[in-house]
Amino acid sequence: MNEAKLIACHECDLLQWKAPLFERGTARCQRCGAALYRNLPATYDRALAFTLAAGILFAIANCFPIVGLWVKGALVESTLFGAISSLYADGMWPIAGLVLVTTVLMPALNIAAVIYLLLPLHIGGVPQRPEIVLRVLRHVAPWGMIEVLMLAMLVALVKLQHFASVVPGVAIWAFGAVMVLLAAAAVSFNPRDIWARIESAPGGDVASHVLKAGANVVTAARAGLFVCHDCGLLSKPPSHVHGGICPRCSAVLHRRKPNSLARTWAFLLAAMVLYIPAVLLPVMVTSTLFSAQSDTILSGVVFLWTSGSWVLATIVFIASVVVPMLKILSLAYLAWSTQLRSSLMPRKRTRVYRWVELVGRWSMLDIYVITILVALVQFGSVATIDAGPGAIAFGSVVVLTMFAALSFDPRLIWDAVELDGE
């Protein structure tokens, strides 16, 4: 037996033997149903082609206007950088920074990392220090939100039609192509194959270690093993050690995320406090010759609904109102039940955690809509749109709930089941 055949589930810590799969098949955990690994054909050239194309179009998308407005015979346009600069100039630097990171820096880092890994393989070489780049790629992935930006552009187009004639810019088509190309590259790119090429330092025969530990061993923690969340390697640490270093990728290892529940509650309570001003305070202020109107998230949904855009109104309501509320309630339920060491419905609770991780980014929709509107609707005394204080609170809620989800360790749910079964 060899250690490469023994794997541990990242969500419930169950030790399982790696089994062969049909091409494009997916192996799932026997206990919690989490995806363990996939058998994808090594299509590095295809993934590289998609990523290179995405990189070129991403540069074009950031150089050309997103959308333009015809106002009194003149065309008013703005790039994504221009929209971010408008927010910064208005004193909304926290929102400007958040938009810059999630729509420019993180996607660019993602594209650069994949090209760095795949280009040497294409020409017959090996990338230098791939373990560092793969670790960066894993941590960057949740924060790149091109698909959310695309939906926000569609919502902004509907709202802008009420101010002037709208002309879609080159960037909106380029961002759409980038979104499709990155999705195609993700399907063709399998980090597990690259990890398999990286030789790990000798860490002992973990399979033999598990067999010696006894037949009742179910999880990696009970077997005294560490599982690396960055590269998936199982390793046996020295005795009486609570932390360690992965012999393959040098990531810091812990049997469970340190202070997981305490950090989850801290982020979650801060999000709960900020959710109230995020909903009640105006996220956008529209000033015209005759009046000034403050719009909250809910009034923006009502505006879309009454203007006939029922589908977009529903999407915005779900993404900006329902999803943040459900995320907070779901994470509070998970943290509370785990802290009580509840052994009830562990599989369903793990699914709830999976859902929270999946939908977290979509709450950024309103922030991107505001960014585009603020950049374009600046017509002096005729009409201007500015971001309101509610936008900062709402952006903070989105980030805090994402940090709360990342801090929560779903393996703690199953630890209570193990104790209950003893």
- Closest by Cα among 389, 275, 391 to 326: 275
- CA 376, distance to chain mean position in Å, is 28
CB 408 within 8 A of CB 258: no
| Residue 275 pLDDT greater than 50, yes or no | yes
The pairing of beta strand 67-71 with beta strand 165-168? antiparallel
Rg (CA), the chain: 24
| Distance (Å, whole) CA 132 – CA 332 | 34
What is the model's pLDDT at position 201? 42
Residue 214 in tokens: 């006894």
Residue 275 in tokens: 């959710």
| Distance (Å, whole) CA 265 – CA 408 | 9
Domain ranges for the chain, please list them: 3-39+199-248, 66-102+138-163+259-421
Q: Is the pTM of this model over 0.85?
A: yes
% of the chain residues with pLDDT over 90: 33
CB atoms near residue 319 (< 10 Å):
22
| Distance (Å, whole) CA 93 – CA 282 | 17
Burial 339-351 (b: 16+ CB within 10 A, else e): eeeebeebeebbb
Mean pLDDT of 206-215: 53
CB 304 within 8 A of CB 311: no
Lowest model confidence (mean pLDDT) among 1-5, 79-83, 351-355, 374-378: 1-5
| Distance (Å, whole) CA 242 – CA 244 | 7
What is the model's pLDDT at position 331? 95
**CA atoms in the 13 A half-sphere facing the CB of 355:** 15
| Residue 371 pLDDT greater than 60, yes or no | yes
Residue 400 in tokens: 């805090």
- DSSP for 72-110? TTEEEEE-HHHHHHHHHHTT-HHHHHHHHIIIIIHHHHH
Burial of 7: CB neighbours in 10 Å, binned 0-12, 13-18, 19+: buried
DSSP state of 14: B
Q: What are residue 159's phi and psi, to 5 degrees?
A: -70, -35
Q: What pLDDT, in 10s, does the model give residues 29-44?
A: 888 888 888 877 667 7
- Closest by Cα among 184, 108, 99, 169 to 364: 99
Helix (H, G, I), strand (E, B) or coil at 252: strand
What is the model's pLDDT at position 348? 93
Enclosing H/E stretch for 29: none
- The CA distances from residue 251 to 28, 110, 134, 199, 242, in Å, are 25, 19, 11, 15, 14
Q: What are residue 249's phi and psi, to 5 degrees?
A: -120, 0
What is the model's pLDDT at position 196? 67
Q: How confident is the model at residue 198 (pLDDT cuts 50, 70, 90)?
A: low
To the nearest whole number, what is the mean pLDDT of the chain?
A: 83
Give the bridge partners for 166, in sequence order.
69
Mean pLDDT of 309-324: 84
Give the bridge partners for 386, in sequence order.
285
- Closest by Cα among 326, 343, 413 to 29: 413
What is the model's pLDDT at position 380? 55
- DSSP for 168-235? E-HHHHHHHHHHHHHHHHHHH--HHHHHHHSPPPP---HHHHHHHH-TT--BTTTTT-EE-TTT--EE
Mean pLDDT of 356-375: 86
Q: What are residue 153's phi and psi, to 5 degrees?
A: -65, -40
CA torsion sign for 296, 297, 299, 300 is positive
